[in-house]
Amino acid sequence: MVQGSLGEPGVTLGTKGRCRFCGETDPRTFRNVAHTLPEAFGNKWVTSLDECDACNARFGAFDDALVKSMGAILTVGGTQGKGNKVRQTGRTNGPASIRHQIVDGQRSISMRANGTPFSDHFGVNFKTGELVFRISGGTERFVPAKAYRALVKMAVALLPDDELPNFTKIIDWLGSPDDDLLPHMAVGISFSIIGNSPPLLAAALLRRASVSRDTPYMLFVTTMGSVCLQIVLKANALDGAWPSRLRTRPNIRWTNLLAPPGEEPLALAYDAPVHLDWGRAGLEPPVIEAIVTAVHPQTAQGRMTAVLRQSALASPP
């Protein structure tokens, strides 16, 4: 497991000199900083030494797909990516846009809808008395199979050296075409605080302790700010013949503990995951269909939730 947060030192993985993804050993090809988890998700702390520049450049397309799959979460969370900039969602003159900025030292989120009825975006929850605003999660499309490869790449980056021989086939698969799909490319997704992304991340590999092959040999779980993502990392043979057709879906409930010096610890719980089907190689709309904001007019207390696109969900097992 690795983790990082504000005020903590950086974490460096691997040994420089041989790329764990392609085997490159030329020292001239290890000049760039390789982020183990995407910088666009706020990763300022965890980097890898054993990822060559060529693989790093190729994996950039995978990270880009992952970002596009849920860009609205990064905007409303104020997640600082490359250059400490917050990603903006949608074009200003498009059907809907979400903007994040700092006004007088305070975070400000603005949501705009163009050319659609006001009633499509505003309502009242008469049970709670809250005003409810609904804005599209964006129209930028992504390739699910590439986003899935981004998670596989992160998981492989965390593997201990003695585990690498058990995963050579999925490492090779990272370099195959987008339409080379594996069985059951399911991704578990859950959220913590959406409107104010916590400045922390964590990633962990969970290895099977039982002898039963009904349980996957290896699970990968990562929390990056507001979102938790998890997959089964397919082994060469430890889950049956390659590629494993185990239908098990990762179902980990995760909690991060944020403990700033001198303050009470804050538990950030990521609920039971919903499962996405990322075993597709065509362009699709983002998995976040809408961001819903509910505000009580008397207390000014508000909360944000993400609405997942039904077409992105995995069918029942």
Q: Which residues contact 297 (CB under 8 A, 6 or more apart)?
A: 129, 130, 131
Alpha helices per DSSP H over 29-103: 53-69, 71-77
What pairing do the DSSP bridges indicate for beta strands 106-113 and 96-103? antiparallel
Which residue bears the tokens 């505003």?
122
What integer pLDDT is reported at residue 222 of this predicted model? 98
| Chunked mean pLDDT (size 10), the chain, 317 residues | 89 94 95 94 94 96 97 93 90 85 87 87 92 92 98 98 97 96 97 87 95 89 96 96 92 88 87 96 96 92 93 90
Indicate yes or no: pTM above 0.85: yes
Q: pLDDT tens-digit profile of 241-290?
A: 999 999 989 999 999 988 777 888 888 999 899 999 999 999 999 999 99
CA-based torsion, 220, 239, 317, 177: positive or negative = positive
- Nearest in space to 92 (alpha carbons), one of 101, 103, 83, 81: 101
Question: 113 pairs with which residues across the strands?
Answer: 96
What pLDDT is stored for residue 276 in this prediction?
A: 98
Structure token digits, residue 112:
């705009």
Which three-class secondary structure state does DSSP give residue 40? helix
Render pLDDT for 75-115 as a digit per residue (tens, 0 to 9).
Answer: 999 999 988 899 999 887 788 899 998 888 888 888 888 88
> Which string of DSSP letters, residue by residue, matches 153-213?
HHHHHH--GGGGGGGHHHHHHTTS-TT-PPS--EEEEEES-SSS--SEEEEEEEE--SS-T
Rg, the chain, Cα only: 20
Nearest to 193 by CA among 155, 224, 158: 224
The pLDDT of residue 142? 97
